[in-house]
């Protein structure tokens, strides 16, 4: 059976020693009094909840799955899920970083980020039930009316009600302009929503008293395409004027998808039959509001794979230390045993270090983005808000795509460490692989994220935002450029930063002549950008580790961090060389292939 230990020490290292987040919070009035001790204390309890309450339900939830009563359309989550959610709500975890105006605790988003990483390690399928609510909460905070906020946000903040995101239809995935779900205006200002949605995570369940669906639909007089899409609140139970639950609304689950992974989460086919809804934001401007939830979900999905990478690594490491298999190529290591533990073998260490490097690099990026999100929404300086939002916009597709690609690589490698036992359900490893696979698909496939990065975030402003990130690298290079121990970390990112600028310029010129050049290069480009981002954060982590070691600190944590950084730059970062070659290969070898597909 697998095990899980919350990585609190590494979280504390990133927050307090690398980024010194408390200093950032001192510039934000609502968090000016927060200190490291408070953050650490909250996360210690969060780790206990994840490891002791939700983790034990992971394998059983996967085995049992969700069930639907075809007569009532009610969905029951796996045994123990409802009770765990009740403890989650009772403990105040749902309200951790929500606005105190609506009953939230008002803690920094970085605390919520770390809580959800641990929950995803413990049980991704369970975590999706409360996780989606945060995105719906954020969308209503940004675009809801005061009446809508008063009606829904208190209950969503507490966790008494959950949320869902209803976008996808059977005939259209990412191309939301093709959707057919329609909304008809009523004389009382409400709307009647009719249509069907598929792949709706946590779309129906028995964990909470109400589910607040955010539904994209098209008004009867809407213009065609994406410019004719509106967003509506469609609750499972209508809400009376006094806030109590009213009649059952015309929105229900008509089927549960049979999936490769995340069996414990109800992925639903949702049918709307004249369901009562209220408009969020302006008519035909639904994507403006929905993008708030979508971007939150994209950061959340990256966090899902981060969690799976960490727990897979922990279990593969424990197995590699215990499993005896052959002798070391360089001579017997365990003389008192009939064979050496497999951790002595170089390629086993390569697989383990790959997972560890991707987990720790991903954690640094995710925490950094949570601080950017905090600054974007709450910093008193308008320029800081704007710059933070712009940087977060650049990094969001990297979080979603790079972390989930890495999660697939890492969980597969950790399964391989187990050999044949990794293919057997009882070890838990095959579930991590199955659960990780969806993260590369939903909330915009990783190809969509790559197109977003290269086309919308980089080329659309001639690389201006990318250059801002380049300035962070340049500042670190200038700071450490003459420090010989840092050379092995500084030189690679300085070199890649220069090459990235040239690659971006080249692709921009090619795309001007043929837009397919963006599609041909985008996936490789995002992976290069991901390594540049990780390289920067790994250099910063190595900087702190070297400083501590030089000061005489003998904590083995810093040696381990330094050794992992060296592995990352030696074995993973060089992937960028081949990626830049394939990014430059162009669209012709992909598009001039009619004979192949005839």
On whether both 47 and 166 belong to a single domain, the answer is no
pLDDT value for 176: 79
Q: How many domains, in total, are found in the chain? A: 3
CATH label of the domain that carries residue 99: 1.10.540.10
Average pLDDT over residues 225-245: 95
Cβ-based neighbours of 157, under 8 Å, separated by 6 or more:
94, 95, 98, 99, 102, 103, 104, 137
On whether both 86 and 220 belong to a single domain, the answer is no
Band of pLDDT at residue 170, cut at 50, 70 and 90: very high
pLDDT value for 6: 98
- Residue that finishes a domain, picked among 234, 262, 285: 285
**Residue 86, SS3 per DSSP:** helix
DSSP class of 324: B
Q: Is the pLDDT of residue 175 over 90?
A: no
Q: Is the pLDDT of residue 1 over 90?
A: no
On whether both 12 and 113 belong to a single domain, the answer is yes
On whether both 546 and 480 belong to a single domain, the answer is yes
Which of 443, 480, 517, 548 does the annotation list as catalytic? 443
pLDDT value for 85: 98
Closest to 393 in 3D by CA, of 474, 458, 473? 458
Cβ-based neighbours of 419, under 8 Å, separated by 6 or more:
323, 325
Q: Is the pLDDT of residue 182 over 90?
A: yes
Write out pLDDT tens, residues 530-549.
999 999 999 999 999 999 99
Average pLDDT over residues 285-304: 89
Domain presence at residue 596: no
Percentage of the chain modeled with pLDDT above 90? 95
pLDDT value for 150: 96
pTM over 0.85: yes
pLDDT value for 264: 98
Length of the chain: 598
- Identify whether the C-beta of residue 568 lies closer than 8 Å to the C-beta of residue 538: yes
On whether both 87 and 190 belong to a single domain, the answer is no
* CA-only gyration radius of the chain, Å: 24
On whether both 241 and 121 belong to a single domain, the answer is no
Q: Is the pLDDT of residue 294 over 90?
A: no
Cβ-based neighbours of 393, under 8 Å, separated by 6 or more:
457, 465
On whether both 181 and 258 belong to a single domain, the answer is yes
DSSP string, 487-532: HHHHHHHHHHHHHHHHHHHHHHHHHHH-THHHHHHHHHHHHHHHHH
Write out pLDDT tens, residues 247-270.
999 999 999 999 999 999 999 999
Q: How far apart are CA 316 and CA 416, in angstroms?
A: 9
Domain presence at residue 553: yes
Q: Is the pLDDT of residue 512 over 90?
A: yes
On whether both 138 and 178 belong to a single domain, the answer is no
Percentage of the chain modeled with pLDDT above 70? 100
Domain presence at residue 300: no
Domain presence at residue 151: no
- Residue that finishes a domain, picked among 285, 310, 336: 285
Average pLDDT over residues 345-358: 98
Q: How far apart are CA 75 and CA 236, in angstroms?
A: 13
Write out pLDDT tens, residues 458-475.
999 999 999 999 999 999
Write out pLDDT tens, residues 69-116.
999 999 999 999 999 999 999 999 999 999 999 999 999 999 999 999
- Residue that finishes a domain, picked among 285, 307, 339: 285
Q: ∠ CA 397-133-242 to the nearest 5 degrees?
A: 145
Would you call 517 a catalytic residue per the annotation? no
Structure tokens at 246: 């009213």
Write out pLDDT tens, residues 428-458.
999 999 999 999 999 899 999 999 999 999 9
Structure tokens at 323: 């499993």
Band of pLDDT at residue 290, cut at 50, 70 and 90: confident
Q: How far apart are CA 90 and CA 95, in angstroms?
A: 10
On whether both 23 and 122 belong to a single domain, the answer is yes
Residue 464 belongs to domain spanning: 448-591
On whether both 231 and 126 belong to a single domain, the answer is no
Q: How far apart are CA 416 and CA 487, in angstroms?
A: 34
pLDDT value for 292: 84
């Amino acid at each position: 059976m697998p095990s899980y230990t919350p990585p609190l020490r590494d979280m504390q290292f990133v927050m307090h020693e690398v980024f010194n987040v408390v200093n950032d919070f001192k510039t934000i009035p609502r968090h000016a009094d927060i200190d490291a001790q408070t953050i650490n204390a909250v996360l210690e309890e969060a780790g206990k909840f994840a490891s002791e309450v939700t983790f034990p339900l992971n394998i059983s939830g996967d085995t049992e799955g969700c069930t639907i009563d075809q007569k009532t359309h009610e969905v029951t989550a796996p045994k123990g899920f409802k009770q765990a959610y009740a403890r989650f709500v009772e403990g105040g975890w749902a309200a951790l970083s929500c606005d105190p105006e609506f009953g939230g605790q008002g803690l920094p988003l970085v605390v919520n980020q770390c809580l959800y990483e641990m929950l995803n390690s413990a049980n991704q399928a369970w975590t999706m039930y409360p996780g989606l609510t945060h995105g719906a909460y954020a969308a209503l905070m940004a675009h809801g009316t005061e009446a809508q906020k008063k009606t829904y946000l208190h209950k969503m903040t507490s966790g008494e009600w959950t949320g869902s995101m209803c976008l996808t239809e059977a005939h259209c995935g990412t191309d939301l302009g093709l959707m057919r779900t329609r909304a008809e205006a009523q004389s009382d200002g409400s709307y009647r929503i009719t249509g069907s949605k598929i792949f709706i995570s946590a779309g129906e369940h028995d964990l909470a008293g109400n589910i607040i669906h955010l539904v994209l639909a098209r008004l009867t007089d809407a213009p065609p395409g994406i410019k004719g899409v509106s967003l509506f609140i469609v609750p499972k139970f209508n809400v009376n004027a006094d806030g109590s639950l009213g009649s059952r609304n015309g929105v229900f689950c008509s089927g549960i998808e049979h999936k490769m992974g995340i069996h414990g989460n109800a992925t639903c086919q949702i049918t709307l039959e004249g369901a009562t809804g209220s408009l969020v934001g302006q008519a035909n401007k639904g994507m403006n509001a929905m993008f708030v939830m979508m971007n939150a979900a994209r950061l959340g999905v990256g966090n899902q794979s981060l969690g799976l990478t960490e727990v897979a690594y922990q279990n593969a490491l424990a197995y590699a230390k215990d499993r005896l298999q052959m002798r070391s190529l360089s001579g017997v290591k365990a003389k008192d045993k009939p064979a050496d533990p497999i951790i002595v073998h170089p390629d086993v260490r390569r697989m383990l270090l790959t997972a560890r490097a991707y987990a720790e690099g991903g954690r640094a990026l995710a925490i950094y983005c949570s601080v950017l999100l905090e600054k974007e929404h709450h910093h008193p300086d308008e320029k800081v808000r704007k710059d933070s939002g712009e940087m977060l916009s650049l990094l969001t597709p990297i979080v979603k795509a790079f972390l989930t690609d890495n999660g697939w690589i890492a969980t597969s490698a950790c399964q391989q460490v187990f050999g044949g036992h990794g293919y057997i359900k009882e070890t838990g490893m095959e579930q991590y692989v199955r659960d990780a696979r969806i993260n590369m698909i939903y909330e915009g496939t990783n190809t969509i994220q790559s197109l977003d990065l290269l086309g919308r975030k980089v080329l659309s402003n001639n690389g201006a935002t990318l250059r801002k990130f380049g300035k962070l690298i340049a500042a670190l290079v200038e700071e450490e450029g003459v420090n010989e121990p840092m050379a092995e970390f500084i030189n690679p990112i300085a070199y890649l930063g220069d090459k990235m600028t040239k690659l971006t310029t080249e692709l921009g010129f090619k795309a001007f002549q043929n837009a397919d050049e963006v599609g041909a290069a985008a996936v490789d480009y995002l992976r290069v950008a991901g390594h540049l981002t990780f390289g920067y954060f790994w250099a910063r982590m190595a900087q702190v580790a070297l400083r501590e070691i030089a000061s005489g600190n003998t904590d083995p944590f810093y040696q381990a961090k330094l050794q992992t950084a060296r592995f990352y730059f030696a074995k993973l970062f060089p992937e960028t060389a081949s990626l830049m070659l394939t990014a430059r290969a162009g669209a012709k070898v992909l598009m001039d292939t009619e004979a192949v597909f005839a």
